[in-house]
Amino acid sequence: MRQHQIIMGMPVQLEIVDEHASQKDYDAVFDYFRTVDERFSTYKEESEISKINRGEISEADYSAEMQEVFRLCEETRQHTDGYFDIRTPEGMIDPSGLVKGWAINNAATMLTQKGFKNYYVEIAGDVQTGGTNAEGKEWSIGVRNPFAREEVVKVIYPRGKGIATSGTYVRGSHIYNPHAAGSSSEKMEFVSLTVIGPTVYEADRYATAAFVMGEQGMHFLEPLPEFEAYAIDHSGRALMTSGFERYTLL
């Protein structure tokens, strides 16, 4: 049975198909997401990231989780030629462009370590699946039309890969280009960009950077092993990497 909660200010969906799953297993995942929110939310005054931004915690006292996320963020910044950057135009540190996928991936790992093989974990459109659904079929995920959200324009069968979508049609202008001072999401080429990656963490961190890059981002993703992408620009034109359509076929 799929369960829903609002955590991090976003809809969280969890389904564990394996028969030995209990409410305790669902609660453990939801509780984990709450601890992530308490630590990394820039909207919570007492979160660790808020205290870091106020200069109340020295680098030597960062938690192990914060150190790991900062390390991964810096690695991603270097891999993307600076298009992924957790320092905002206002000079604050906001790792949310990586934390969501990282947390979903950790939750999926928790389930796997508990012996579960068939599951679905989603936060606001970013998804990690394992095995098959309750009907014993491939999990399927719809890519929504950013101009008519009730319409699904593509159906993806992730087959254990992670999926992340970056865009402006849900949260508005919240993405910026670190290489263009004063830039906003409205000036970017794409309205939405969906990335398939080896895990949802990998998909999420590159989706943000590739969205900012625009069409160049598709060229950035094209040669990466196990990555595919589907983008929609402001005119409604769709672009996809060369291997994307193999994830739309059963």
Rounded CA gap, 77 and 206, in Å?
10
Rounded CA gap, 190 and 218, in Å?
11
Rounded CA gap, 132 and 117, in Å?
8
DSSP assignment of 3-19 equals EEEEETTEEEEEEE-ST
Rounded CA gap, 44 and 175, in Å?
20
Contact 162, 101 (CB under 8 A): yes
The reported pTM is: 0.93
Q: Which candidate, 219, 211, 216, places its Cα nearest to that of 176? A: 211
Domains annotated for the chain, with CATH where assigned, are 2-247 (3.10.520.10)
Can you point out the beta strands (E) in the chain?
2-7, 10-16, 119-123, 126-130, 141-145, 148-156, 162-167, 190-197, 228-233, 238-240
DSSP 8-state secondary structure symbol assigned to residue 59: G
Strand 126-130, strand 162-167: pairing:
antiparallel
Using the Cα atoms of residue 1, residue 163, residue 109 and residue 134 in order, give the sign of their dihedral.
positive
pLDDT tens for the chain, residues 1 to 250: 899 999 999 999 999 999 999 999 999 999 999 999 999 999 999 999 999 999 999 999 999 999 999 999 999 999 999 999 999 989 999 999 999 999 999 999 999 999 999 999 999 999 999 999 999 999 999 999 999 989 999 999 999 999 999 986 454 445 768 877 555 455 689 999 999 999 999 999 999 999 999 999 999 999 999 999 999 999 999 999 999 999 999 8
* Strand, helix or coil for residue 234: coil
Rounded CA gap, 22 and 152, in Å?
32
Contact 118, 105 (CB under 8 A): no
Q: Which amino acid is at 232?
A: I
